[in-house]
Structure 1
Amino acid sequence: MTRIRRPHARLRTVTLAGTAVLAAAALTACNGDGGSAAAAAAKETPQTKVSVSASGKQAKAGEPVKVTLTGGGKLDSVTVKDTKGGTLTGQISADGTSWTSARTTSPGTSYTVEAKAAGATATKADFTTQAADKVSKLTIAPGKNTTIGIAHPVSIVFDNPVKNKADVEKHLKLTTSNNTEGSWGWMTDYSGKDRVDWRPKDYWKSGTKITLNADLNGVDSGRGGGWFVRDYTTNFTVGKNQVVKVDLDNHRLKLIRDGETVKDAPMSAGTPGGDKASWRGKTVLMSKEGTINMRSETVGLTGSDSYDKMVDYSMRLTWSGMYAHAAPWNRAYFGNTNHSSGCIGMSDSDAKAVYDAVQIGDPFEVTGSGSKGTQALNNGYGNWNVSWADWQAKSALKS
């Protein structure tokens, strides 16, 4: 990848003349005898100069802006604005001689710096950063202003590789209304792209409000990934405290709300002993998809195992094709035998009742024998199948 060229280091220096200096210069011009006195005054009152760490039309992106004052005096204020309406905030040093932006510059952006020192007029300096050779974007779930179940993680999938995982992660700021304990964890998504999720230590508490600020504008994702050129934000609320328990041995599905069973339905899960078996573990309802066409070739089943059906009340649990749904053709097995192609099938009426009640993000806890193993971490939201200690170790900022 062509990287952004680092220009030769240059400081743009601007002189801020104080009133004492200007007065001394006037005396020198008008009084022959007072020349030496004026010169002495000018010598004792040095000119104040401001230097900006970036200049020109090809400044390096991803660097903080630093304003430095020399020649005496202290900075009163510094503002750095871009042509898109954004502002880089920062802080003046304790001795008043420098100011550094809290965030870095973004690629392909023009900035105006305005600095004012005590007793001097303000001055401006302009610079433009080099354009990014590659721009990185991302997708966040849950969506903005949504209500989700107690098991839904905050999940970010990046469209380009992320090599600088630690730098990216430290720009992801998640806040909750009740100081929920949690951690970021990196993985390769089912799509093959880089992904990072924030998972609470335990299921969310009902009513929790969550805000994510991904302050990524001006962050380099690393070799092959490109630059982020904007910030992202989302917020959502945790809804009802619900858990769906799927018992493979007893062939029952129970919807439990606030500790009370509100639905107990007979079901038939995947046929044990091969690819048609169901996954076990803690999975998360990814989407409610209604009536969809299910075809066996999409999950690798062919020959005598093939099917092509329109299926009602479909609730997706994994990317690999495990759903809970209505399966009236399988009614002879509800409550007594697992005899499906991997999904959790119920009667039309029971499937409708569950479909209407569940929230995206509700956990489906699948237990019992005859499964084909535990759902993988990236096959949907398998985050809860990893211990808390192992999950924390997936953070790029782990100690």
Structure 2
Amino acid sequence: MGIWSSAMGSSPAGVRRRAFAAAAFLVAAAALIGGCATAAAGPTHPQQAPAPAAPAPAAVVPVLTLQPAADAADVAPSGLAHASASAGTLKDVALTGADGKPVPGSYSADTAQWTATAPLAYKGKYTWSGSMVAPDGTATPLTGTFSTVTPKRTVKGSLNIGDGQTVGVAAPIEVHFNRDLSAEAKAAVERGLTVTTSVPVQGAWAWLPDDQVGSRVHWRPKDYWPANTQVTVKAPLYGLDLGTAGWGTADVGSSFTIGRSQIVKADEDSHRIQVVRDGQQVMDLPASYGLETDPNRVTRSGTHIVMAKSEKVLMSNPDYGYENVPEYWAVRISNNGEFIHANPASNWAQGKRNISHGCINLSTANAKAYFDTAMFGDPVEVTGSSVKLSAADGDIYDWAITWDDWTKMSALTA
């Protein structure tokens, strides 16, 4: 134990010095390692100051909107009056006319909006009242007065088919105006027109030439109406600014029914007419048409419609020497004097020759039988004659116009 090998090259004292040095190295190394560990655990950047607290949200300031606004003048009466709060609620809103009567209205579910449920009157003065209550309970009064327009002229519209009527499968819908409308006014009217049907029906509005009374717009289906279709037409005209013609006086509309399908096949060359109801021929009657050698007496070729009927009509044509001649069981099919009617004087020619002044002549019994089945809007398809039905033949010649041409007669066509 006390002998050191010379091979170690060291004395005991040297060994102690080396051991001490080694121990000192280990302590220093440990200290260095410990110092590195401490530095790694601490922050690598200077410590930042805490972020300041967010400011409290600003209080919501509700905005009150009135339409029409206070002091507005010449307001169109068709738009529904409206009040709204951007925050909070509305309370005790009223819009009162000069007569002291309030305009009816209703609130939204959150009571932040109030809307009139009826239009305003022409030349009226209205006052807002009530309040807007902010979320913090602060109340702002609704105040202000406005006035509606006083028309210098008015325009009245009317429909050719009344509510609850039943009509034939070729019936056009007509909205007629008692004044001539400009192109701009026609477009304004047409934008609001609607036709709703119980089954899909393709159709379109077309403006026919103005007549002596005013303007007119017709709606017809591309093809005949499907039988038994329910139809509702609406023309919102009240409060509509129609330019120089004036302001619309009232909305018009109706709901009606398309009846059974009844089509008259009237072939001049056969000297007969066939009545086809719901696809089945129910009558085949001898007839006499207009005289072909005189263009003024030719029964016009093309699809007419039944316009009206009367048990007795006084017929006149001074150019041909007769006036106020009574004819019976007369069904009008155009406004140029064409009827399907009884004419006992032409019984000998019926089924053989065409000799009338443009009407379709039947015997009294046959005319009565057909008369009883006819209704407004039934199509009468005349074929075989040398002159076509046209605008020169009166108000209703809708089916003489091709579908492509019809769709180009809209006021909204670019």
TM over 0.5: yes
> Once the 2 structures are TM-superposed, how far is the Cα of residue 395 of structure 1 from its aligned partner?
1.2
Q: TM-score, normalised by structure 1?
A: 0.76
Determine the C-alpha separation between the residues in 1 that align with 2:232 and 2:370. Answer: 29
- Measure the CA separation in 2 of the matches of 1:318 and 1:88: 48
Aligned partners of 1:238, 1:81: CA distance in 2, in Å? Answer: 44
Query: Match of 2:87?
Result: 73
Q: 1:278 corresponds to which letter in structure 2?
A: T
Equivalent residue for 1:246?
A: 266
3-state SS in 1 of match to 2:371: helix
**Cα 1:206–1:53, aligned 2, differ >3 Å: closer, same or farther?**
same
Displacement, 1:126?
4.0
Q: Name the residue aligned to 1:8.
A: none
Kindly report which structure 2 residues correspond to 1:1-399, keeping only aligned pairs within 5 A, or say none.
49-56=64-71, 58-61=73-76, 64=79, 73=87, 107-111=122-126, 113=128, 117-119=132-134, 120=139, 123=142, 125-163=144-182, 164-191=185-212, 193-223=214-244, 225-272=245-292, 273-297=294-318, 302=319, 304-370=320-386, 372-376=387-391, 379-399=394-414
Change in CA separation of 1:188 and 1:91 when aligned onto 2, cut-off 3 Å: farther
My pick for the range that moved more, 141-150 or 306-315, is 306-315
> Which segments of 5 or more consecutive residues in structure 2 lack a partner in the other structure?
1-57
Normalized per residue, the structure richer in helix is 2
Counterpart residue type for residue 320 of structure 1: N
Q: 1:145 to 1:67 in 2, by over 3 A?
A: closer
Secondary structure of the residue aligned to 1:174 is: strand
State the SS of the aligned residue for 2:154: coil
The 1:129–1:262 alpha-carbon spacing in structure 2 relative to 1, beyond 3 Å, is same
- The answer (yes or no) to whether the contact 2:74–2:150 under 8 Å persists in 1 is no
Q: CA contact under 8 A between 1:104 and 1:219: conserved in structure 2?
A: no
Output the amino acid matched with 1:296: N
Give the superposition deviation at 1:53.
3.5
Note if contact 1:271-1:338 (Cα within 8 Å) is conserved in structure 2.
yes
Once residues 153 and 331 of structure 2 are traced to their aligned partners in structure 1, the CA distance between those partners, rounded to angstroms, is 37
Taking a change above 3 Å as real, the CA distance of residues 349 and 190 of structure 1, as seen in their structure-2 partners, is: farther
Note if contact 1:89-1:103 (Cα within 8 Å) is conserved in structure 2: no
- Once the two structures are TM-superposed, the CA of residue 345 in structure 1 deviates from its matched residue by 0.7
* 3-state secondary structure, aligned to 2:380: strand
Counterpart AA for 2:402: S
Contact 1:161 1:221 in 2 (8 A): no
> What is the CA distance between 1:75 and its match in structure 2?
5.9
User: What is the alpha-carbon distance in structure 1 between the residues aligned to residue 378 and residue 103 of structure 2?
Assistant: 38
Tell me, yes or no, if the aligned pair for 2:77 and 2:149 is still in contact at 8 Å: no
Please tell me whether the aligned partners of residues 190 and 319 of structure 1 are also in contact (alpha carbons under 8 angstroms). Answer: no
Deviation of residue 357 (structure 1)? 1.0
Query: Structure 1 173/85 Cα, relative in aligned 2: closer, same or farther at 3 Å?
Result: farther
Quick one: distance in 1 between partners of 2:96 and 2:284?
60
Q: Deviations over 1:115-167 (max 9, x none)?
A: 76454477354433132111111221112210000000111111011121111
- Cα distance in structure 2, aligned partners of 1:204 and 1:86: 41
Tell me if structure 1 keeps the 8 A contact 2:60–2:87: no
What TM-score do the two structures reach when normalised by structure 2? 0.73
**Aligned-pair distance for 1:366?**
0.4
Change (3 A) 1:203 1:45: closer
Residue 287 of structure 1 deviates from its aligned partner by 0.6
Matches of 2:117 and 2:408, distance apart in 1: 28
Flag the 1:305–1:108 CA change in 2: closer, same or farther, 3 A: same
Mapped partners of 1:328, 1:394: distance in 2: 43
Percent identity over the alignment is 30
Q: Distance in 2 between matches of 1:81 and 1:172?
A: 31
Q: Distance in 1 between matches of 2:103 and 2:336?
A: 42
Tell me the amino acid that sits aligned with residue 355 of structure 1: F
Could you say which structure has the larger radius of gyration? 2
Relative to structure 1, the CA distance from residue 112 to residue 398 in structure 2 (aligned partners, 3 Å threshold; closer, same or farther) is farther
Higher strand share: 1
Partners of 1:378 and 1:130 lie apart in 2 by 41
Which region of structure 1 is more displaced relative to structure 2, 358-367 or 76-85?
Answer: 76-85
- Structure 1 gap segments, 5+ residues each: 1-42
Q: CA deviation at 1:52?
A: 4.1
Letter in 2 for 1:385: A
Alpha-carbon distance, 1:109 to partner: 3.6
The answer to whether the 8 Å contact 1:158/1:195 transfers is yes
**Aligned equivalents of 1:45, 1:89: Cα separation in 2:** 25
Give the partner amino acid of 1:250: S
Aligned residues: 346
